[in-house]
Amino acid sequence: MSDTSSRQQLVAGAADMIRRRGLNATSIREVAKHSGAPLGSTYHHFPGGKDQLAAEAVRHAAETTARALDAALETGAVEGLRTFFALWRDVLVRTDFRAGCPVLAVSVEEPQSGGEPTAALRAAAEAFDGWEHRLATALRAQGTPEDRAARRAALVVAAAEGAVAMSRARRSTRPLDDVAAELAELVATGG
Protein backbone atom coordinates (compact mmCIF):
# COMPACT_ATOMS: atom_id res chain seq x y z
CA MET A 1 0.00 0.00 0.00
CA SER A 2 2.84 2.30 0.81
CA ASP A 3 4.13 1.85 -2.71
CA THR A 4 0.78 2.64 -4.25
CA SER A 5 0.30 5.62 -1.99
CA SER A 6 3.75 6.97 -2.74
CA ARG A 7 3.24 6.61 -6.46
CA GLN A 8 -0.19 8.18 -6.33
CA GLN A 9 1.09 11.06 -4.26
CA LEU A 10 3.77 11.73 -6.84
CA VAL A 11 1.14 11.83 -9.58
CA ALA A 12 -1.21 14.06 -7.61
CA GLY A 13 1.64 16.35 -6.62
CA ALA A 14 2.78 16.66 -10.22
CA ALA A 15 -0.75 17.48 -11.34
CA ASP A 16 -1.03 20.17 -8.70
CA MET A 17 2.25 21.72 -9.66
CA ILE A 18 1.56 21.66 -13.40
CA ARG A 19 -1.79 23.26 -12.69
CA ARG A 20 -0.01 26.21 -11.07
CA ARG A 21 3.29 26.72 -12.84
CA GLY A 22 2.97 24.93 -16.13
CA LEU A 23 4.82 21.88 -17.36
CA ASN A 24 8.31 23.21 -18.03
CA ALA A 25 8.52 25.06 -14.73
CA THR A 26 7.57 21.93 -12.79
CA SER A 27 10.70 20.09 -11.69
CA ILE A 28 10.85 16.48 -10.67
CA ARG A 29 12.88 17.47 -7.63
CA GLU A 30 10.17 19.70 -6.30
CA VAL A 31 7.40 17.23 -7.04
CA ALA A 32 9.30 14.59 -5.10
CA LYS A 33 10.02 16.89 -2.19
CA HIS A 34 6.44 18.13 -2.07
CA SER A 35 5.27 14.51 -2.00
CA GLY A 36 7.76 13.47 0.66
CA ALA A 37 9.36 10.98 -1.73
CA PRO A 38 13.06 10.81 -2.56
CA LEU A 39 14.19 11.89 -5.98
CA GLY A 40 15.51 8.45 -6.84
CA SER A 41 12.13 6.87 -6.25
CA THR A 42 10.62 9.00 -8.95
CA TYR A 43 12.65 7.24 -11.61
CA HIS A 44 11.84 3.92 -10.07
CA HIS A 45 8.10 4.51 -10.34
CA PHE A 46 8.31 6.39 -13.65
CA PRO A 47 11.15 4.99 -15.74
CA GLY A 48 9.97 7.17 -18.62
CA GLY A 49 11.09 10.22 -16.65
CA LYS A 50 9.35 13.54 -16.56
CA ASP A 51 7.24 12.92 -19.64
CA GLN A 52 5.70 9.79 -18.17
CA LEU A 53 5.03 11.46 -14.84
CA ALA A 54 3.42 14.45 -16.57
CA ALA A 55 1.27 12.20 -18.75
CA GLU A 56 -0.02 10.31 -15.73
CA ALA A 57 -0.66 13.57 -13.91
CA VAL A 58 -2.73 14.82 -16.83
CA ARG A 59 -4.69 11.58 -17.00
CA HIS A 60 -5.25 11.65 -13.24
CA ALA A 61 -6.68 15.18 -13.34
CA ALA A 62 -8.69 14.45 -16.45
CA GLU A 63 -10.33 11.39 -14.93
CA THR A 64 -11.18 13.14 -11.71
CA THR A 65 -12.95 15.84 -13.67
CA ALA A 66 -14.60 13.30 -15.95
CA ARG A 67 -16.10 11.42 -13.00
CA ALA A 68 -17.63 14.57 -11.55
CA LEU A 69 -18.94 15.45 -14.99
CA ASP A 70 -20.50 12.01 -15.43
CA ALA A 71 -22.31 12.27 -12.12
CA ALA A 72 -23.73 15.69 -12.90
CA LEU A 73 -24.72 14.84 -16.46
CA GLU A 74 -27.14 12.21 -15.21
CA THR A 75 -29.35 15.12 -14.19
CA GLY A 76 -29.09 16.67 -17.64
CA ALA A 77 -26.80 18.73 -19.84
CA VAL A 78 -27.48 22.01 -18.07
CA GLU A 79 -26.56 20.57 -14.70
CA GLY A 80 -23.42 19.05 -16.19
CA LEU A 81 -22.37 22.40 -17.55
CA ARG A 82 -23.03 24.07 -14.24
CA THR A 83 -20.92 21.49 -12.42
CA PHE A 84 -18.11 21.72 -14.95
CA PHE A 85 -17.78 25.44 -14.41
CA ALA A 86 -18.26 25.17 -10.64
CA LEU A 87 -15.32 22.77 -10.51
CA TRP A 88 -12.98 25.24 -12.15
CA ARG A 89 -14.33 28.07 -10.07
CA ASP A 90 -13.48 26.16 -6.92
CA VAL A 91 -9.92 25.60 -8.07
CA LEU A 92 -9.47 29.29 -8.80
CA VAL A 93 -10.95 30.53 -5.55
CA ARG A 94 -9.30 27.93 -3.34
CA THR A 95 -5.86 28.78 -4.71
CA ASP A 96 -6.33 32.54 -4.95
CA PHE A 97 -6.14 32.26 -8.77
CA ARG A 98 -2.76 30.59 -8.69
CA ALA A 99 -3.89 27.27 -10.14
CA GLY A 100 -5.76 26.43 -13.30
CA CYS A 101 -6.17 23.42 -15.56
CA PRO A 102 -3.19 21.09 -16.01
CA VAL A 103 -4.54 19.87 -19.33
CA LEU A 104 -4.52 23.39 -20.69
CA ALA A 105 -1.07 24.03 -19.24
CA VAL A 106 0.38 21.05 -21.08
CA SER A 107 -1.38 22.01 -24.30
CA VAL A 108 0.22 25.44 -24.58
CA GLU A 109 3.84 24.34 -24.25
CA GLU A 110 5.64 22.98 -27.26
CA PRO A 111 7.46 19.72 -26.54
CA GLN A 112 11.10 20.83 -26.32
CA SER A 113 12.36 17.57 -27.73
CA GLY A 114 12.15 18.48 -31.38
CA GLY A 115 10.42 15.31 -32.53
CA GLU A 116 7.16 13.54 -31.97
CA PRO A 117 4.42 14.84 -29.67
CA THR A 118 5.04 14.08 -26.04
CA ALA A 119 3.10 11.46 -24.09
CA ALA A 120 1.85 14.28 -21.88
CA LEU A 121 0.52 16.17 -24.88
CA ARG A 122 -1.22 13.06 -26.15
CA ALA A 123 -2.81 12.63 -22.73
CA ALA A 124 -4.01 16.22 -22.90
CA ALA A 125 -5.66 15.65 -26.27
CA GLU A 126 -7.41 12.57 -24.89
CA ALA A 127 -8.58 14.52 -21.86
CA PHE A 128 -10.24 17.13 -24.04
CA ASP A 129 -11.77 14.38 -26.18
CA GLY A 130 -13.20 12.66 -23.13
CA TRP A 131 -14.85 15.77 -21.76
CA GLU A 132 -16.22 16.73 -25.16
CA HIS A 133 -17.60 13.29 -25.78
CA ARG A 134 -19.44 13.25 -22.46
CA LEU A 135 -21.00 16.63 -23.04
CA ALA A 136 -21.97 15.82 -26.62
CA THR A 137 -23.71 12.62 -25.52
CA ALA A 138 -25.74 14.53 -22.95
CA LEU A 139 -26.68 17.17 -25.50
CA ARG A 140 -27.85 14.53 -27.98
CA ALA A 141 -29.87 12.91 -25.19
CA GLN A 142 -31.78 16.14 -24.74
CA GLY A 143 -32.54 16.41 -28.45
CA THR A 144 -29.70 18.40 -29.94
CA PRO A 145 -28.94 17.21 -33.48
CA GLU A 146 -25.85 15.06 -34.01
CA ASP A 147 -23.36 17.47 -35.56
CA ARG A 148 -24.59 20.44 -33.59
CA ALA A 149 -24.08 18.54 -30.33
CA ALA A 150 -20.45 17.84 -31.16
CA ARG A 151 -19.72 21.45 -32.07
CA ARG A 152 -21.48 22.78 -29.02
CA ALA A 153 -19.59 20.41 -26.72
CA ALA A 154 -16.35 21.70 -28.21
CA LEU A 155 -17.53 25.24 -27.56
CA VAL A 156 -18.27 24.50 -23.91
CA VAL A 157 -14.90 22.91 -23.21
CA ALA A 158 -12.96 25.58 -25.10
CA ALA A 159 -14.84 28.41 -23.42
CA ALA A 160 -14.35 26.94 -19.97
CA GLU A 161 -10.62 26.47 -20.48
CA GLY A 162 -10.17 29.94 -21.90
CA ALA A 163 -12.27 31.49 -19.16
CA VAL A 164 -10.17 29.84 -16.45
CA ALA A 165 -7.05 31.37 -17.96
CA MET A 166 -8.69 34.78 -18.28
CA SER A 167 -9.84 34.62 -14.68
CA ARG A 168 -6.32 33.83 -13.55
CA ALA A 169 -4.90 36.79 -15.46
CA ARG A 170 -7.54 39.12 -14.09
CA ARG A 171 -7.54 37.57 -10.63
CA SER A 172 -11.31 37.55 -10.68
CA THR A 173 -13.98 34.93 -11.32
CA ARG A 174 -15.85 37.39 -13.48
CA PRO A 175 -14.80 35.98 -16.88
CA LEU A 176 -15.62 32.46 -15.77
CA ASP A 177 -18.98 33.46 -14.35
CA ASP A 178 -19.92 35.51 -17.41
CA VAL A 179 -19.04 32.70 -19.78
CA ALA A 180 -20.89 30.15 -17.64
CA ALA A 181 -24.02 32.29 -17.62
CA GLU A 182 -23.94 32.81 -21.36
CA LEU A 183 -23.47 29.11 -22.07
CA ALA A 184 -26.09 28.04 -19.56
CA GLU A 185 -28.67 30.13 -21.32
CA LEU A 186 -27.59 28.81 -24.68
CA VAL A 187 -27.77 25.17 -23.63
CA ALA A 188 -31.02 25.58 -21.69
CA THR A 189 -32.91 27.19 -24.57
CA GLY A 190 -31.43 24.71 -27.01
CA GLY A 191 -29.92 27.66 -28.94
Partner DNA sequence: GCTATACTATGACGGCCGTTATAGCGAGGG
Partner DNA sequence: CCCTCGCTATAACGGCCGTCATAGTATAGC
Q: Which residues contact DNA by CB under 7 A? A: 2-3, 6, 26-30, 37-45, 49-51
Q: Which is nearer to a second copy, 74 or 96 (CB)?
A: 96
| 14 interface partner picked from DNA, a second copy, none, CB below 5 to 8 A per type | none
- Minimum distance between the CB of residue 15 and DNA, rounded to whole angstroms? 15
CA distance 181 to 191: 14
Q: Which is nearer to a second copy, 10 or 139 (CB)?
A: 139
Looking at residues 54 to 113 of the shown chain, list those that interact with a second copy (rule: CB under 8 A): 98-101, 103-110, 112
- Minimum distance between the CB of residue 108 and DNA, rounded to whole angstroms? 17
By the rule CB under 8 A, 10 interacts with a second copy: no
| 6 interface partner picked from DNA, a second copy, none, CB below 5 to 8 A per type | DNA
| 154 interface partner picked from a second copy, DNA, none, CB below 5 to 8 A per type | a second copy
Asked if 21 contacts 12 with a C-beta cutoff of 8 angstroms, the reply is no
| 179 interface partner picked from DNA, a second copy, none, CB below 5 to 8 A per type | a second copy
